[in-house]
Structure 1
Amino acid sequence: MPQDQAAHGAAGGATLTLKDGTSIFYKDWGPKTAQPIVFHHGWPLSADDWDAQMLYFLAKGYRVIAHDRRGHGRSTQTDAGNDMATYASDVLELAEALDLKNAVHIGHSTGGGEVAAYVARSKPGRVAKAVLVGAIPPLMLKTANNPGGLPIEVFDGFRAALAANRAQFYLDVPSGPFYGFNRPGAKVSPGVIQNWWREGMIGGAKAQYDCIKAFSETDQTDDLKKIQVPVLFLHGDDDQIVPIADSAMLAVKLVKKGELKVYKGFPHGMLTTHAEVLNPDLLAFIRK
């Protein structure tokens, strides 16, 4: 597997060239002999969205890994392959290249869909456990078989806003529903909003546009049913991006070994706004 090591500066980053020529940026920190924890970011962000978790688990002695999904962050701004099956295939290549064994895969939002797709396809021994946080599975789109989902007009609105003025759209989302900053009494962090914007704008508009279809229209019912390892679902009951009733509440019933923890009043971006609560809960599950 061709592997191009990038400069190991403050970012601690490297790149992996996939079979199709796509370059995937990733961070790989900590002892290579320690149990790996792999973090999968949400749309339209990057591996940087996991800073609070990477530093926390690194300090606990784990090997921590996070990559920029194709088309996102510092990875190649692909115009093709921006779909859940390819995302999973990319992670299969990364796990093979890094020879990850007994790993814990943690995914947020779209990254939770990526985790479900990857774990369902992973080789025996590669994955120990999985965690889906505010995650999209089984299916976000409203259909005849999924009447509680969101109508296609919601996602068409995302696409229209991205195409018309991506820079403004990427301010509006974190300023409002993503972190619950639109709720009365919310403690708004300008830095968090600006960082979300920064992460989003680094990525490719075409890949992020395509990813809206991937996260909204991919039915992952079968992926969830195939997962053999323990899965923890964490979800805020005030998630305005991925409503809990049609995601975690359904998904936990589809996996063989599922557990759901609901956080009262927490928003979609709770890994950032409430890291001090989420991180110890993640640690407890990993150690269990």
Structure 2
Amino acid sequence: MSRPLASLPNLDMDLARTFVAICESGNFSRAAELVHRTPSAVSLQVKKLEDMVGRALFRREPRAVVPTGDGEMLLGYARRLLRLNDEAMARFLVPQIEGRVSFGAPNDSGIFAIPGILKRFASTHPQVAVDVRLDYSAELRRRCAAGELDVAIVSCGEKPNSSSEEIYSEALVWVGLRNGRAAEQTPLPLALADPGCSWRGRALDALDSVGRDYRIAYSSELCQGQIAAVEADLAIAPLPASVLSPSLVRLNDPARLPPLGSYRVFMMKRDGAGPAADALAQHVSESFRDLADRQTRIFA
């Protein structure tokens, strides 16, 4: 006989927040830091939550804890509840900000980061209009320094200025189609971003350093164009490790495809940009921190 809805327990927001933190960080200790509790307190919260739902929510693996099937199902509910809770509380507790803010992001990493950032920001600051510009990092850096952008994220090898903040770093790798043949061709066919992209320059310098013969088979302003060429096995490309998938694999051939290192993402903010820009900058930092946590869990 099913339990009457009126007698069902309420899912505590603190338990839900801790549960999501564990799922996204992959371990209790890191989750404890994220929710500002001790690891033992987090363990007690998990036991309470598992007792409440009557299911095991995690399984222990050698280097991480991962949600069970029931845990994955609860994760979706918990995220939705937390988003709704945070949206409701922000509407009443966060000072209402109105106006317009200009935001710049690179053609490469910006494509992946922007949707989450804008969705997050719109939920807490619905009265702020955001003007988005996608461009090369060098141009975004110039525009922000000139006061033409309020907030910008740029991908470069060194800190753009003393006030900028490093918000993300990730391995740049050679990517090819699983069981593809493009990497064996001579000259090596490449799918690259247009001139001006730091990834392009790094890839060409690496190949030149080992004397590898190559040709630029495809150029694209957006990295989706590079990915499309790789998926068709028409070329290989230098791309972030986060694009790897069952069909797109990392090519490990150090002698012929030298390592590309990591790329770094910095956030710049115009001096005196105002509260809307400050709020957007906070969302940018939080979104990239979440992205870094997910990548750490995936590649651990």
Higher strand share: 2
**TM-score band (shorter)?**
under 0.3
TM-score (norm 2): 0.23
Greater helix share, structure number: 2
> TM-score, with normalisation over the residues of structure 1?
0.24
- Computing the radius of gyration from Cα coordinates, the structure with the larger value is 2
